[in-house]
Amino acid sequence: MKRNSVNFPRLLFFLIFLMAYCKKEHTTTTNPVDIDTPNTLTARPLMVEYWGGCCYDRNDVGPLDAIPDSVDVVNIFTLGIGKTSDGSWEFEHRGVSGYNDWNDVLTKAHALQQKGIRIVCTSFSGNMVNLSGTEAAKMALIVKDSLDKWQLDGVDLDLEYNGATTKNIDSAVIALGKYLGPDSKTGRILSVVDYNNYNIAQIKRTNKYIDYVMTMSYWNTAKQVRSIVKSYGAAIGDVKNVLIGVGQGCAITAGQATPTGEELKIADTLRIAFPGSGMMEFVFGCSYHHTDANGNITKDVSYTQHIIRHLKQ
């Protein structure tokens, strides 16, 4: 603007108008700019649900969009971190896509996120054993890029190794810890699941990178879980970072399901004796497709709801 082209009265009027406008703008509440950053993990989850995305008949497990609002984290079971035929790393969802449309899974996952539920991808850890630092870094970057693309909240590592009870995945956990878990400060989750204390040493060595550990000895009683919470609590650094696994049995080896009613006793024990510790259910919705006397699907998720009521009193 050319200063000599505006006379003084008009300039004065413009300045008065501008001051009034700026004052109004200063006092008006505006919405924050929407930025693409993950939510910070401000509280440990009390209830984690494994959703059987692959490997099970759709009539044996509950649908993703039936997850109760009071669940804290949903683990999609299972994806795969591994190498392709050309030697490059991938984070694949072929197992889940074989039973579902992946875009539909993401749509439903994002709807759960809008309710405050975190969505985590589970992968077995067999392809992460004794990686070099270079290979671990390549793997971790692929995982990070995949989570960015899918807009999901983290990774859960299943510490099972095709018959072996324990292996060394230190380099992989450390590399993932750059992008996930408490040391990364990104808010994205890095969890592990184990049983029978097999990987206590692994968890202890890398606990600074891990948010929490879940157990999959589903057959335990409330009395037995006391020692389990203590042993895993010592390994991860805090009993509040331990979640005890339970399950009805539709996706659990015969004879290894949680004894009927014991899941509620476990919830009470954890709430009273180990406040802040939590539970995990494998898998969600075993009773969802049961039918009533008239042949109608019950959509029963009471197993999950009852646990949460006892755990979160």
Question: What is the rounded end-to-end Cα distance, in angstroms, of the chain?
Answer: 66
pLDDT reported for residue 101: 98
Kindly state the percentage of the chain with pLDDT values over 90.
85
Euclidean distance between CA atoms 266 and 271, whole angstroms: 9
Count the helix, strand and coil residues of the chain and give each as a percent rounded to the nearest 5.
Answer: 40, 20, 45
- For residue range 98-115, what is the model confidence (pLDDT) as tens digits? 999 999 999 999 999 999
- Asked if the model's pLDDT at residue 29 lies above 60, the reply is no
pLDDT reported for residue 43: 67
Spell out the SS3 assignment of the chain: CCHHHCCHHHHHHHHHHHHHHHHHHHHCCCCCCCCCCCCCCCCCCCEEEEEECCCCCCCCCCCHHHCCCCCCEEEEEEEEEEECCCCCEEEECHHHHCCCCHHHHHHHHHHHHHCCCEEEEEEECHHHCCCCHHHHHHHHHHHHHHHHHHCCCEEEEECCECCECCCCCHHHHHHHCCCCCCCCCCCCEEEEEECCCCCHHHHHHCHHHCCEEEECCCCCCHHHHHHHHHHHHHHHCCHHHEEEEECCCCCCCCCCCCCCCHHHHHHHHHHHHCCCCEEEEECCCCCCCCECCCCCECCCCHHHHHHHHHHCC
Q: Per-residue pLDDT averaged across 270-294, rounded?
A: 98
Average pLDDT value over all residues in the chain: 89
Kindly state the percentage of the chain with pLDDT values over 70.
86
Catalogue all structural domains in the chain, each as residue range(s) with its CATH number: 44-311 (3.20.20.80)
Q: How confident is the model at residue 21 (pLDDT cuts 50, 70, 90)?
A: very low
- For residue range 177-220, what is the model confidence (pLDDT) as tens digits? 999 999 999 999 999 999 999 999 999 999 999 999 999 999 99
What secondary structure letter does DSSP report for 240? G
Q: Are 52 and 247 in contact (CB under 8 A)?
A: no
Find the range with the poorest average confidence among 4-13, 45-54, 103-112, 228-237: 4-13
